[in-house]
């Protein structure tokens, strides 16, 4: 353990921040009986303390991102529990369980990629995992849907492709050294495979009508691709870069031109001309933000909780209305700080660097799609804000990704002894798949 | 190491793009929040005042007002009930809302208000002068563009609710000044402007045509004169004063007046000729019709009637009044009218101050001067007894509507007075059933405005 | 808006701000221990030539003439991408990544070789010393 003083301080201040929020609800908010609020407070503070105790068992260089994680998770619990008046019903309990699952996932991610050489040698499992998930979507999600309904819980398998894609980008980066001659071209096979997989995933999402996650995948690949250009020993001229960018623009243009009507209707929609139809959610979200102002109407006093998808698709507006735009902005600052932690702690290997860039891309793009989409800056897609929106799959994958981010700051460098360790290491990709 | 730094710069790039987007969002929300709130069902509306501080609309519903206080401006100012869309309040509800992003909705003490250019006392006087007749009057300052009077009858006092909405007469819930109407002989002003632009004053004044009470044109259509025994041989000045239809029919047929040129000038004036897309004027959010007509062939009956102000021609009173401003200014440029002088926000800070705007040049200044002289001569020769004490340039008109069953009476003109630059258009519907004339209303209007 | 309501909002926002601030400060405090830890991983070594020394602050160090190289040797006898230094468990290894003139450690040509303190690496006409880090 590095710095016990800052460690205790961090924990105390996280509890303070949550306490202040709960106090705000107590004096300012809308709740029917104090019992619900007390229960919420007990759960939140209890989770904080429990997390603090759990952290005592892990030796790390830094705990900052861990505390940021518990800060944002319990913030989101408080937000979700107080929408439209404090309530501790099934949805909130589900949210708390997914929060705990996110913490568990972060530990799993941490354990998985801490030693990058271990995962590097087993990247076949990652490719297999992506293929497996796509197969699952194809088989299990009937009628071109993106959800698998298990009765008590619905899973969105496409979410789990995101961390796997990040890992695929990161593990294949070292292969840049191994070029192969093919028809007088120097080719790195993993680059071709990676491009093929990303294209397949994007086409697949298009087919599933899950248009919102395409930009996320594209951003993850773009960050990996940019780093590939700069990787030592890969010669990638500026001409090729310009050609690649213009190809992307061309594909986007053609895609929009030939897009089916329902896509185009979504791309070019004037929300104010159709406030009761397609523009309903966005216009209500904007009215909600305007109604809340800088300081909000008070926790639980908004009207947006009557709107469909208030807890995920337009969650930024719901928080803005009840807690104020200022608070909602600070919430995004916390998330941005999680993303920017690799700037304070530079990753020590190229694998971890690529992984951090991919995770940062995934988180910021999802935030941007959700916030700007619900506020009518860009087309509206049903993407979630990591940790803030309700939704199990997104919560677990985001937890996994943040765990990987923490691992990048606490790296282990060991030599892989090939024969001896391969036996038990088979477990890791298996576990990963099971978590998906 | 360098490669790690590249990772970091890519992360920075993503963060910077996101933060930039976030800043745009915050600025956008800050600026557009009043617009968003307009779509909410929660409003805390402020007041609308006239130019002397008299209340025209009370969003707080707190004050007490005499009976029918809002009757004369009811269908222009409107309210937030949603019954009248094309009104000042309905179109500017975001300016009137006592809301700002920082302060939220302010229930008490919000100072959001619209200060209009209207003169409520004069408006009231004009409204009363109609004595129950229907029609509309609009008048504005042709130097500044401030609308001083705009009343339309029948009207409604919106404070009394809309229970009897089914039994209201048609035209109650809109301002007739903003709607196209048959202009009658006031259209001849446009034809005179066209003739002057095409021929020039010398050629036009040299032309004279004979009127025998009825004129049969080249295609066999007959144009009747209101004076069945005819006006004899006249020049343009006399024809305008006599408002002689056969003269103008012959003028339109004249080879020196090619129809393409007439159409061209009509379009410049703002007419939607034949199948043109109709144009609208925006007066502080209120949509106002402009003009439309059908012109196909110089010898055609409909075309000639169109240039005389019957047939398919429709012009809104506001547009008629604006052409008078282009004449009275002597520049050929219309002064664009406005209703809102300034707006105060929830804190009482003044914003959105009106500025005077002019149209493009519709016709040359020399044409403007000539038409001004013609109209002033007409005023001096025929209106000194009915509109005493004022130097006015006017043109009257009689418009047949409902297939000739009813006749509307119109008077457009301007006051040639540096102190009171007023252009006006007065319309009385179904003139035979009323005991009031457009001249009487003009006197009331000018008396009220020039006190 | 009531003043007490505003005050509560401000307090709760301030608490969050304070928490973020504390976490950032803690992060910078922890950065020192991170450096210490890296020193143990990298065995606190550095590469030096006649004039300057190069820190080894990540697990893959590219040596070459190209602008993207971590240790850039502007000498025509050095290939653009010459050699790669990697670390694991405090042990540094040098690998030839397809150079023209080869990699020599203590005078012998190598493809891959574990480095010891005070080893002399020769790349083309350039000589580098692998040594313990010296604080300035």
CB contact under 8 A, B11 and A357: yes
**Closest residue to C5, CB basis, from A230, A298, A349:** A298
- What was the pLDDT predicted at C100? 84
Q: Which two tokens stand for residue B173?
A: 């819930």
Residues B272 and B126 in one domain: no
Distance from CA of C60 to the nearest CA of B (A): 8
Calculate mean pLDDT across residues B56-74: 85
User: pLDDT of B122-141, one tens digit each?
Assistant: 999 999 999 889 999 999 99
pLDDT band with cut points at 50, 70 and 90 for residue A185: low
Please, which residues have CB within 8 angstroms of residue B83's CB and are 6 or more apart in sequence?
A: B158, B162, B165, B173
Over pLDDT 90: what percentage of chain A?
23
Nearest alpha carbon to residue B195 among B371, B42, B74, B320: B371
User: pLDDT of B393-439, one tens digit each?
Assistant: 999 999 888 777 888 999 999 999 889 999 999 999 988 888 889 99
pLDDT band with cut points at 50, 70 and 90 for residue B17: very high
Residues B281 and B249 in one domain: yes
With a cut of 60, say whether residue A431 has pLDDT above it: no
Residues B277 and B156 in one domain: no
CB contact under 8 A, C1 and B4: no
Residues B194 and B114 in one domain: no
ipTM (interface pTM): 0.87
Residue A235, SS3 per DSSP: coil
Q: Which two tokens stand for residue B326?
A: 């282009």
pLDDT band with cut points at 50, 70 and 90 for residue A150: low
Residues B214 and B286 in one domain: yes
Distance from CA of A50 to the nearest CA of B (A): 32
- What was the pLDDT predicted at A236? 59
Going B237 to B240 to B241 to B246, the CA torsion angle's sign is positive
Residues B421 and B296 in one domain: no
Over pLDDT 90: what percentage of chain C?
0
Outline where DSSP puts E strands in chain C.
45-48, 53-55, 60-64, 71-72, 83-88, 91-96, 103-105, 108-110, 112-114, 119-123, 126-132
Q: Structural domain of residue B437, as residue ranges?
A: 31-93+108-171+318-358+414-451
Q: Which residue has the higher pLDDT, B400 or A5?
A: B400
With a cut of 80, say whether residue B441 has pLDDT above it: yes
The secondary structure of B159-175 as a DSSP string is: GG-STTGGGSPTTTTS-
Q: Collect all residues of chain A within an 8 Å Cβ-Cβ radius of residue B29.
A: 286, 289-290, 325, 375
CB contact under 8 A, B3 and C69: no
CB contact under 8 A, C68 and B3: yes
Q: Give bridge partners of residue A138 from the DSSP assignment.
A: none
User: pLDDT of A73-111, one tens digit each?
Assistant: 999 999 999 888 888 888 889 899 999 999 999 999 998
CB contact at 8 A, B87 and B155: no
- What was the pLDDT predicted at A420? 37
Residues B329 and B257 in one domain: no
CB contact under 8 A, A6 and C25: yes
Residues B353 and B363 in one domain: no
pLDDT band with cut points at 50, 70 and 90 for residue A180: low
CB contact under 8 A, A336 and B19: yes
Residue C114, SS3 per DSSP: strand
Report if residue B145 sits inside a domain. Answer: yes
Q: What element of type H or E holds B291?
A: strand B291-293
Report if residue B291 sits inside a domain. Answer: yes
With a cut of 80, say whether residue B371 has pLDDT above it: yes
- What was the pLDDT predicted at B106? 76
Residues B272 and B407 in one domain: yes
With a cut of 90, say whether residue A368 has pLDDT above it: yes
Q: Collect all residues of chain A within an 8 Å Cβ-Cβ radius of residue C15.
A: 16-17, 19-21
Calculate mean pLDDT across residues B288-309: 88
- What was the pLDDT predicted at A405? 92
A14 touches chain B (CB under 8 A): no
CA distances from A325 to A328, A331, B39 (A): 5, 10, 19
- What was the pLDDT predicted at B266? 92
With a cut of 80, say whether residue A141 has pLDDT above it: no
Going B284 to B285 to B289 to B290, the CA torsion angle's sign is positive
Residues B191 and B296 in one domain: yes
Report if residue B24 sits inside a domain. Answer: no
Q: Collect all residues of chain C within an 8 Å Cβ-Cβ radius of residue A67.
A: 23, 26
- What was the pLDDT predicted at A237? 62
Which chains pack against B, by 3+ Cβ pairs within 8 A? A, C
In chain B, what's the furthest Cα-to-Cα distance? 106
User: pLDDT of A30-85, one tens digit each?
Assistant: 888 888 899 999 999 999 999 988 888 887 878 888 999 999 999 999 999 988 88
With a cut of 80, say whether residue A310 has pLDDT above it: yes
Q: Which residue has the higher pLDDT, B81 or A19?
A: A19
Q: Can you tell me the distance from the alpha carbon of C98 to that of C110, in angstroms, rounded to the nearest whole number? A: 12
C57 touches chain B (CB under 8 A): yes
**CATH number of the domain that residue B371 is part of:** 3.40.710.10
Which range (A149-153, B106-110, B277-281, B362-366) has the least confidence?
A149-153
With a cut of 90, say whether residue A248 has pLDDT above it: no
User: pLDDT of C41-61, one tens digit each?
Assistant: 777 788 888 788 888 878 888
Report if residue B231 sits inside a domain. Answer: yes
Instruction: Write the secondary structure of B401-438 as one string of H (helix), E (strand) and C (coil).
Output: ECCCCEEEEEEEEEECCCCCCEEEEEEECCHHHCCCCH
Q: Collect all residues of chain C within an 8 Å Cβ-Cβ radius of residue A414.
A: 88-89
Q: What is the CA radius of gyration of chain C?
A: 23
CA distances from B169 to A279, B175, B288, B430 (A): 37, 13, 21, 15
Residues B308 and B191 in one domain: yes
- What was the pLDDT predicted at A367? 93
Taking the model in full, what pTM does it have? 0.76
- Which one of C7, C14, C15, C16 would you mutate to disrupt binding with A, by most A Cβ within 10 Å of its Cβ? C16
CB contact at 8 A, B74 and B168: no
Number of structural domains (chain B) is: 2
C69 touches chain B (CB under 8 A): yes
CB contact under 8 A, C16 and A327: yes
C109 touches chain A (CB under 8 A): no
Calculate mean pLDDT across residues B149-161: 87
Instruction: Write the secondary structure of A395-431 as one string of H (helix), E (strand) and C (coil).
Output: HHHHHHHHHHHHHHHCCCCCCCCHHHHHHHHCHHHHH
Residues B56 and B144 in one domain: yes
CB contact under 8 A, A375 and B37: no
């Amino acid at each position: 353990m590095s710095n016990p003083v800052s460690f205790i301080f961090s924990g105390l201040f996280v509890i303070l921040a949550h306490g202040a929020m709960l106090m705000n609800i107590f004096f300012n908010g809308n709740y029917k009986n104090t019992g619900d609020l007390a229960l919420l407070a007990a759960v939140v503070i209890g989770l904080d303390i429990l997390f603090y105790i759990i952290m005592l068992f892990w030796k790390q260089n830094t705990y900052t991102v861990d505390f940021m994680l518990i800060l944002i998770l319990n913030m989101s619990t408080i937000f979700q529990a107080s929408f439209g008046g404090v309530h501790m019903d099934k949805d909130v309990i589900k949210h708390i369980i997914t929060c705990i699952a996110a913490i568990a996932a972060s530990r799993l991610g941490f354990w998985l990629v801490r030693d990058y050489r271990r995962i590097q040698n087993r990247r076949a499992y990652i490719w297999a995992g992506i293929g497996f998930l796509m197969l699952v979507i194809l088989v299990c999600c009937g009628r071109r849907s993106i959800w698998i309904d298990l009765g008590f819980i619905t899973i969105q398998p496409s979410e789990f492709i995101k961390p796997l894609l990040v890992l695929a980008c990161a593990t294949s980066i070292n292969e840049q050294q191994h070029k192969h001659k093919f028809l007088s071209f120097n080719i790195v096979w993993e680059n071709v495979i990676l491009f093929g997989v990303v294209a397949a995933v994007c086409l697949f999402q298009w087919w599933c009508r899950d248009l919102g996650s395409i930009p996320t995948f594209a951003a993850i690949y773009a960050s990996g691709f940019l780093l590939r250009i700069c990787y030592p020993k890969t010669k990638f001229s500026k001409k090729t870069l310009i050609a690649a960018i213009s190809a992307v623009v061309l594909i986007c243009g053609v895609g929009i031109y030939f897009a089916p009507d329902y896509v185009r209707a979504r791309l070019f929609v004037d929300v104010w001309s159709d406030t009761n139809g397609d523009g309903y959610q966005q216009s209500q979200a904007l009215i909600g933000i305007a109604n809340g102002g800088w300081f909000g109407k008070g926790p639980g006093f908004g009207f947006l909780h009557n709107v469909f998808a208030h807890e995920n698709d337009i969650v930024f507006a719901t928080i803005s209305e009840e807690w104020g735009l200022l608070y909602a902005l600070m919430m995004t600052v916390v998330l941005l700080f999680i993303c920017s932690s690799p700037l304070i702690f530079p990753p020590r290997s190229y694998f971890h660097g690529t992984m951090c860039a991919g995770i940062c891309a995934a988180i910021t793009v999802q935030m941007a799609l959700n916030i700007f989409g619900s506020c009518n800056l860009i087309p509206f897609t049903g993407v979630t804000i990591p940790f803030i929106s309700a939704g199990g799959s997104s919560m677990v994958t985001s937890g996994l990704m943040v765990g990987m981010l923490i691992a990048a700051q606490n790296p282990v460098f060991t030599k892989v002894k090939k024969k001896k360790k391969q036996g038990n290491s088979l477990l890791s990709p298996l576990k990963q798949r099971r978590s998906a | 190491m360098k490669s790690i730094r590249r990772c970091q710069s890519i992360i920075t790039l993503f963060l910077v793009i996101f933060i930039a987007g976030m800043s745009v969002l915050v600025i956008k929300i800050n600026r557009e929040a009043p617009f968003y709130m307009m779509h909410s069902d929660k409003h805390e509306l402020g007041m609308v005042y006239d130019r002397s501080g008299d209340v025209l609309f009370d969003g707080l519903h707190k004050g007490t007002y005499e009976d029918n206080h809002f009757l004369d401006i009811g269908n222009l100012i409107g309210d937030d009930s949603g019954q009248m869309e094309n009104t000042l309040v309905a179109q500017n509800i975001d300016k009137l809302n006592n809301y700002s992003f920082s302060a939220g909705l302010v229930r008490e003490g919000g100072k959001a208000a619209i200060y209009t250019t209207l003169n409520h006392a004069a408006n009231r006087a004009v409204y009363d002068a109609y004595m129950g007749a229907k029609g509309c009057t609009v008048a504005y300052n042709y130097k500044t563009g401030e609308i001083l009077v705009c009343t339309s009858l029948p009207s409604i006092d919106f404070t009394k609710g809309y229970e009897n909405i089914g039994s209201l007469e048609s035209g109650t819930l809109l301002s007739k000044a903003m709607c196209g109407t048959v202009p009658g002989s006031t259209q001849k002003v446009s034809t005179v402007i066209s003739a002057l632009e095409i021929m020039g004053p010398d050629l036009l004044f040299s032309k004279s045509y004979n009127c025998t009470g009825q004129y049969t044109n080249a295609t066999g259509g007959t144009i009747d004169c209101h004076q069945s025994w005819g006006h004899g041989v006249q020049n343009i000045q006399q024809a305008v004063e006599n408002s002689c239809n056969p003269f103008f029919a012959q003028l339109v047929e004249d080879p020196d007046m090619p129809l393409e040129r007439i159409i061209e000038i009509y379009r410049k004036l703002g007419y939607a000729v034949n199948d043109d897309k109709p144009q609208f004027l925006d007066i502080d959010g209120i949509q106002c019709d402009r003009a439309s007509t059908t012109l196909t062939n110089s010898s055609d009956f409909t075309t000639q009637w169109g240039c005389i102000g019957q047939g398919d021609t429709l012009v809104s009173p506001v547009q008629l009044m604006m052409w008078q401003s282009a004449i009275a200014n002597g520049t050929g440029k219309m002064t664009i009218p406005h209703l809102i002088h300034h707006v105060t926000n929830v804190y009482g800070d003044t914003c959105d101050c009106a500025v005077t705007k002019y149209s493009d040049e519709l016709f040359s200044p020399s044409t403007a001067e000539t038409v001004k002289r013609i109209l002033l001569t007409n005023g001096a020769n025929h209106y000194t007894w009915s509109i005493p004490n004022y130097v006015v340039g006017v043109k009257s008109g009689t418009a047949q509507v409902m297939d000739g069953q009813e006749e509307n009476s119109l008077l457009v003109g301007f006051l040639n007075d540096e102190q009171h630059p007023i252009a006006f258009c007065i319309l009385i519907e179904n003139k035979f059933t009323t005991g009031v004339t457009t001249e009487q209303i003009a006197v009331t209007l000018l008396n009220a405005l020039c006190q | 808006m009531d003043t007490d309501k505003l005050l509560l909002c401000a307090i709760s926002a301030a608490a969050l701000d304070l928490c973020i601030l504390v976490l950032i400060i803690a992060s910078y405090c922890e950065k020192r221990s991170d450096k210490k830890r890296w020193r143990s991983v990298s065995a606190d070594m550095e590469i030096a030539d006649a004039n300057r020394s190069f820190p080894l602050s990540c697990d893959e160090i590219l040596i070459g003439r190209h602008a993207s190289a971590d240790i850039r040797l502007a000498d025509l006898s050095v290939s653009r991408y010459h050699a790669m230094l990697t670390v694991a468990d405090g042990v540094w290894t040098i690998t030839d990544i397809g150079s023209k003139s080869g990699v020599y450690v203590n005078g012998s040509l190598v493809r891959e070789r574990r480095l010891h303190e005070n080893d002399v690496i020769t790349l083309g006409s350039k000589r580098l010393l692998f040594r313990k880090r010296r604080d300035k």
